[in-house]
Amino acid sequence: MPKVPDKVTVGLKFPYDVADGRCMFTVTEHVGKGVWRCVCDEGQDYAGSVANVDGRMILGILEMNSSFEMTFTRNSEWFESLPDGTVVHLSNGFRQFVRCRVETGEYEEGLSGKTSTGKHVVAIALVGNWRPFDLPSRRADGTVSLPYHAAHVVNGTHYLPGPQNMWESPHFQESELKDRDGDPRGLDPIPLDVPEMTGEEIETSRRILLIREARDLMTDEATDEAHDRASTILASIPREVDG
């Protein structure tokens, strides 16, 4: 674990929350009664902001950050040691897991759209207690809804989640999470196929798409011609006849 100082001194740096962000602050002087004046470092969103912070809080922040860093480092080293092809299980909480395969190569960096090269995982299945709204489904207009984790599996997404969130990681194995969420390794994959549309569903989707086309015409083109075209489209939609 990175060494945490025994006391606060001028020049000590620590992360501190300001408004909606976290910035690096430097201790500049002792105000009195254990309180220190600190200034946000240059080059950050709130550069120059001043905060008077209790010394015990500063040391507590550094202690917590040191613990987080040690946990992250240990689990990252564990993940890097895994051979390609190893199967691991990313926990989403609530006994929900994404089964993944370890690979080395290009992967996506979160939501940034950027790519990196290195060890990562490929989502291969959902296992555990996923709910219906977590799984693929067909909308009334015929399109398919793919929730976040299901989309990773269907698309075979290459990505790098936090290793500490994997069931097999040291962090997971040494905490109450292991027993709380159960062992996912023997669970069967959840089918993610969406059934083909029935004849009735096809007809419903066609009506919805025609209505949408007519709506867009009347909304986007304020002309008599557009309204006439929209009326023609609406008139072509079969009406349901009561028995």
Same domain, 205 and 222: yes
**Banded model confidence at residue 2, pLDDT cuts 50, 70, 90:** low
How many domains does the chain divide into? Answer: 3
Give the range of the structural domain holding residue 148, as residue numbers without chain letter. 82-181
- Mean of pLDDT values over 74-94: 94
- My answer on whether 43 and 108 are in the same domain is no
- Segment 43-68, tens digit of pLDDT: 888 999 999 999 999 999 999 988 77
- Look at residue 94 and tell me if it is in a domain: yes
Determine the length of the chain.
243
Mark whether 170 and 203 lie in a shared domain. Answer: no
**Which pLDDT score is estimated for 217?**
84
Domain shared by 96 and 132, yes or no: yes
Residues 175 and 95 in one domain: yes
The pLDDT, as a whole number, for residue 240 is 56
CB 196 within 8 A of CB 184: no
In this prediction, residues 113-124 reach a mean pLDDT of 91
Residue 94 scores a pLDDT above 80: yes
pLDDT tens for 84-93 read 999 999 999 9
163 and 107 together in one domain: yes
pLDDT at residue 111, rounded to an integer: 62
63 occurs within a structural domain: yes
Query: What percentage of the chain has pLDDT greater than the value 70?
Result: 95
| Tally of CA atoms within 13 A in the half-sphere of 72 that contains its CB | 9
207 occurs within a structural domain: yes
Among 78, 100, 128, the domain-final residue is: 78
Domain for residue 4, yes or no?
no
Q: Residue 242 has what pLDDT?
A: 45
240 within a domain of the structure (yes/no):
no
Whose CA is closest to 16, among 67, 70, 54? Answer: 54
How far does CA 224 lie from the centroid of its chain? 47
Through-space distance between the first and last CA atoms of the chain, rounded to whole angstroms: 76
